[in-house]
Chain A
Amino acid sequence: MHGPVLDAQGELALSGAASRLDYHCSLQQGIGSRLMVVFRWLRHCLAIYLLVTLLSLICNSGAAAQEVIVHSDVPKESLSRTAVRAIFGMRLRTWPDGTPIRVFVLEDHSPIHSSFAKQKLGIFPHQLRRAWDRLVYSGAGQAPIEVSSAREMHARVAATRGAIGYLPKEMIDDSVRMVEIE
């Protein structure tokens, strides 16, 4: 706002020594007002940042506890955390009876995926993505199968032999089996 004024004053200041004092005054005033603008801008940024953080907190707390589910033929009542991590890390390929493991996940930014990764695996979603990318783009492994909704997750795990996935507890029924994590 005071920028053009500062420039005008600056030109005036060149015209004579008498007005040099004015120039200095207005220079200080100019810097002061610029600082104010910067402060105001920073305050806006902070407010937006807090709002985003708050919203993401609300979203996260909105997601209920997630449970690991498997196809009903999978011969496991419980899994160790090591095993679940190895499975969702796409390292473990078969169940103990030799059936291929089919891993289903929701997209990275899904609140269900995020809370599953953090609570059940103890891994941040971005770490999981990096680990999958390393396998997929170096030929060392495959990516999990991505589904677009919790409903699709439910249907695919129920219908696919050797399938494993996760769902909010209230969505789990008899068509899939819930697995305890030791």
Chain B
Amino acid sequence: MTAFAWWRLNSQMIQYFKWMGGFLVLAATSVTLSAEVSWKDTFQIHGFASQAYILTSGNNFFGKSRDDGTLDFRELGVNASLRPLPDLLVSAQLLSRWAGESDDGSIRLDYGLLDYSLVSQADFLGGVRLGRIINPLGLYNDTRDVAFTRPSILLPQSIYFDRTRNLALSSDGGQLYSEYRTGMGDFLFQFGVALPRTEGQEVERALFMRRVPGELKGNISLGGRLLYERDGGRVRLGISGVQTNIDYDPAGPEDPLQAGSIDFDLLILSAQYNAERWSLTGEYALRRIATKDFGPFGPSDASLTGESYYLQGAYRFTPNWEGVIRYDALYANRDDRYGSRFEAATGLPAHLRFAKDFTVGLRWDITPSFMLRAEYHNVNGTAWLPLGDNPDPFATQRHWDLFALLLSYRF
């Protein structure tokens, strides 16, 4: 069983490497030999690995974390980049991630893109990206799997919930970007048109709370972000949004569900202030999910608006020690914040519809490459609890705690 999993992992990996290699060679052969600085010198390879221990009370998170805890949360990633021409960047990242029932370690391509710079001046630059591109969402989505770049072991789950990670992380298509540097600050703009990633079961689980016989397929979706940064990032203000469209392809005439569609819109407002010793961060998100045309046995034609926000403070006691404190809240339906109507309509526990998480954490950068973290969450509600780890909603507890340790390495 394990041998088979490894074999599958390896064959997948070989496929990806072949693909990546072909990509790089193709880009490389297009280079003229007259380049003065050798393009080969621009090759970079970076990576990260992290292993967590999670102990919870009441509910499971990323594995069987209750009572004795679990080591079932691991992330391994490697990325390569090359600049075959001064204006062309080729980059790709492979990721393997284990997270209880939510993620099984299968290797996937997080991003793989060509970035061509059209204008490159000190005060204005712009270009285009093609391929699998990271969705520009909020302050943390860009590097959500790299423990070093996260403010805590678990990202604020109200906005960056890991239930639909692949969908949120990246999509396949094109993106335009531009940056203006002015005396009053920098304006960074990204806008993309792409097909969302609906691979795996995570979207099905999150939307239907079960497997469905047919297939979900991403349809043309839009996304963009405008960031304002002052003094090289001392002040950062952002607005980002996506409009994601997913269609359902029924398995056949016996499929009780009809060819319906799902619209998912997300708007995030972000603000951050970075002083030398402390940082203050807050984000607010509005989510709208609309389902239609699934027929009498599917979800009804309806739309739901959810709301999330967090406020987070970090303090660097020394360059190597940082403490973090955060309050994070998620309401699945802003018109039914505490789920009482949901409970009355479905008979399911009301606490599935909200989550309020109070977190404290400590980070120790042992060396620039090694980091150790510890954190404690006190949670009221289960709205972002992974369903795979907690298959019986009636067995979930409204009030629960989570303690986590994480060791991470990067290069």
Contact = CB atoms under 8 A, between A and B. Distances in A.
Number of chain B interface residues as a range? 35 or more
Nearest to A114: B319
A134 B143 contact: yes
B271 to A, nearest CB: 15
Most buried by A among B89, B232, B275: B232
Interface size class of A (residues with CB under 8 A): 35 or more
Contact of B83 (A99, A131, A139, A142): A142
Contacts, number: 124
B368 interface: yes
A142 B122 contact: no
Contacts of A141: 81, 89
Interface in A26-77: 49, 52
Contact of A102 (B37, B148, B231, B319): B37
Contacts of A102: 37
A94 interface: yes
Contacts of B125: 86, 91-92
Given A137-B46, A142-B83, A124 B274 contact: yes
- Pick from B91, B122, B318 the residue with the most CB of A within 10 Å: B122
A2 B81 CA distance: 63
A100 interface: yes
B396 to A, nearest CB: 33
Given A100-B42, A142-B89, A161-B37, A124 B276 contact: yes
B146 interface: yes
A162 B233 contact: no
A93 interface: yes
Contact of A137 (B113, B146, B233): B146
A86 B125 CA distance: 10
B86 A139 contact: no
Interface of A: 49, 52, 79-80, 82-83, 85-87, 89, 91-94, 98-100, 102, 107-109, 121-128, 130-131, 133-134, 136-143, 160-162
Interface of B: 36-37, 42, 44, 46, 48, 77, 79, 81, 83, 86-87, 89, 91-93, 111-113, 115, 117, 120-123, 125, 129, 133-134, 142-143, 145-146, 148-149, 179, 181, 231-234, 274-276, 316-319, 368
